[in-house]
Amino acid sequence: METELRIVGYDQGGASKVYIPNIFSLLESGGGGELDGDVLASTEQTPGASELADTVLQKVFGLQRYFFRVSPSLGFKTLRVTPFPVLSTRQVIVAKEDIDNQLRKVENQIFTAFEAEPIEDGYSHSTEVLLEKIIMDFGRHADSWLVSIFSSARWSASMKADLLRLLSRQKPFTEDWRLRVIQIGLSSQNIELRDAAVQAAESWEDPGVIELLKSHKENCAWLADYISRVLQDLMR
Amino acid sequence: MPYLARKITRVKWETGNEFAPNEIPADAVTSDLRTKSNTLSFWQLETPTNYIEISKIALALVTEADRIDRLDLTWIDKNGFRSQGISVNPSDGRTPVKSLQSTHVDVAKLDLNRLSKIASWIADGLSQNQYRRFTKKEIIQIIIEAIRQDLVSLDDLAPKVKDEIDKEFGM
């Protein structure tokens, strides 16, 4: 039986998710699912194809050993699951386009969710889970994708503010990334986005936000008051 | 009690450059005045300038929430409801703080005109600073204080709220 190997995300020199349809794993809980594991990958330009394939094979051999332990007949059946393809650079480039397509689809999902359900302080929103998964699965691609949303005009300021309010409910990426997003928000002409940036600063509590908030000149009185009270809270 | 208080999202009511000062952005109405069974939820308030009193309204609201965030409260004159024939019905609030449940009212039988009146009152109130924003830290402090005073138990709170309280103060 031939199987198809599709990369759903990768990171420079880091671990990447590999999804292999038709190869099923058994879980200790008794359930099962298609193999969805981490493999080592190198940069986009040098995909480390053999490394990828080797790692996948290692995982499959591990699974085969497990099947043999659980049931020898099941183990023998898994031996027929060959061959495994070796990835080429072209396939990896296709996979990059796949990531962009998936992130575009995610944007549409977020739009729809925001329209259906307003974001309310104090209450969870369905998009939080989606964002958490995207950040976990897409790593640096999600990082630059989110920055591109905040710095481009393809989303309205109000939608960006909603997105930032949801992101502030987790602690994504690095402090540098978070400070950059807060800075983009604070420098906006739109008060919703500035307000969301202060809320993010309040939630993330990164030491660097104190200077950012102190140096921000706010012309709206109630928002300026909020900033000064958040500063007091952060410095306490 | 001369005022009725309600949770809002302050920034949605900002007119900015997009609207004239007397206009109300539609997002404010669709996000903050979403009715259920043509009813809106309010909390009775005697003296909005009294921090303890307004903190109790905040406590009632945040203890029924499923996470801790900052909170925006606004209040409007209760007499306006009466003069416009808008029904204000006592109804127990959905809060685990039992002593505050009876301060809740339902503003009922709302049609578009009456809803629009309420939106105008809120907008007018905000222009006169009838508004209080509680920071996230303040909210945490209010909950902690309520637990200390036995107004609410940690077990009555939503898991995320409980986690935040545990994390901040190691209760």
Question: Looking at beta carbons, which residues of chain A come within 8 Å of B30?
Answer: 118
B67 to A233: CB separation less than 8 angstroms, yes or no: no
CB atoms within 10 A of CB A226: 23
Across chain B, what does the average pLDDT equal? 94
A230 to B135: CB separation less than 8 angstroms, yes or no: yes
Q: What is the pLDDT of residue A60?
A: 57
For B67-108, the pLDDT digits (tens) are: 999 999 999 999 999 899 999 999 999 999 999 999 999 999
For A115-155, the pLDDT digits (tens) are: 888 999 999 999 999 999 999 988 888 999 999 999 999 99
Which one-letter DSSP state was computed for residue A26?
E
Percent of chain B scored above 90 by pLDDT? 88
Q: Which residues of A131-145 are buried (b: 16+ CB within 10 A; e: fewer)?
A: beebbeebbebbbeb
For A5-22, the pLDDT digits (tens) are: 444 444 343 444 444 443
Q: Minimal CA–CA distance to A48: which of A2, A91, A101?
A: A91
What single string gives the DSSP state of each residue in B76-89? EEHHHHHHTT-EEE
Residue A205 forms contact with B (CB below 8 Å): no
Which one of B10, B67, B131 has the shortest CB-CB distance to A122?
A: B67
What is the spatial distance between Cα B144 and Cα B170, in angstroms, rounded to a whole number? 11
With a CB cutoff of 8 Å and minimum separation 6, the contacts of A16 are A7, A9, A10, A38, A39, A40, A41, A52
Is the confidence at residue B159, as pLDDT, over 70?
Answer: yes
Q: What is the pLDDT of residue A24?
A: 38
What is the spatial distance between Cα B100 and Cα B130, in angstroms, rounded to a whole number? 21
Give residue B143's pLDDT band: very low, low, confident or very high (50, 70, 90): very high
Domain spans, chain A: 6-87, 96-235
ipTM of the complex: 0.94
Is the confidence at residue B33, as pLDDT, over 60?
Answer: yes
Q: What is the pLDDT of residue A55?
A: 55
Residue A120 forms contact with B (CB below 8 Å): yes
Specify the pTM: 0.76
Residue A206 forms contact with B (CB below 8 Å): no
CB-based contact A21:A3 (threshold 8 Å): yes
Question: Looking at beta carbons, which residues of chain A come within 8 Å of B16?
Answer: 190-191
Give pLDDT tens digits along chain A (236 positions).
Answer: 333 444 444 434 344 444 444 333 333 343 444 444 443 333 344 445 445 555 555 565 566 566 656 666 665 555 555 444 444 444 444 566 788 888 888 999 999 999 888 999 999 999 999 999 999 988 888 999 999 999 999 999 999 999 999 999 999 999 999 999 999 999 999 999 999 999 999 999 999 999 999 999 999 999 999 999 999 999 98
Q: What is the rounded radius of gyration, in angstroms, for the C-alpha atoms of chain B?
A: 16
Q: What is the pLDDT of residue A63?
A: 63
Q: What is the pLDDT of residue A6?
A: 46
Mean pLDDT of B118-146: 96
With a CB cutoff of 8 Å and minimum separation 6, the contacts of A228 are none
Give residue B167's pLDDT band: very low, low, confident or very high (50, 70, 90): confident
Strands B71-77 and B87-90: unpaired
B136 to A233: CB separation less than 8 angstroms, yes or no: yes
A169 to B67: CB separation less than 8 angstroms, yes or no: yes
**What distance in Å separates residue A181's CA from the closest CA in chain B?**
19
A199 to B9: CB separation less than 8 angstroms, yes or no: no
Q: What is the pLDDT of residue A140?
A: 85
CB-based contact A197:A186 (threshold 8 Å): yes
Q: What is the pLDDT of residue A70?
A: 63
Is the confidence at residue B140, as pLDDT, over 90?
Answer: yes
A191 to B133: CB separation less than 8 angstroms, yes or no: no
Q: Angle CA(B112)–CA(B116)–CA(B121) in degrees, nearest 5?
A: 155
CB-based contact A114:A127 (threshold 8 Å): yes
**What separation, in Å, do the N-terminal and C-terminal C-alpha atoms of chain B show?**
36
Q: What is the pLDDT of residue A96?
A: 66
What is the spatial distance between Cα B121 and Cα B86, in angstroms, rounded to a whole number? 13
Q: What is the pLDDT of residue A11?
A: 39
For B37-78, the pLDDT digits (tens) are: 999 999 999 999 999 999 999 999 999 999 999 999 999 999
Q: What is the pLDDT of residue B21?
A: 85
Q: What is the pLDDT of residue B72?
A: 98
Domain spans, chain B: 3-169
B137 to A199: CB separation less than 8 angstroms, yes or no: no
Which one of A158, A222, A223 has the shortest CB-CB distance to B27?
A: A158
Written as one letter, the residue type at A30 is G
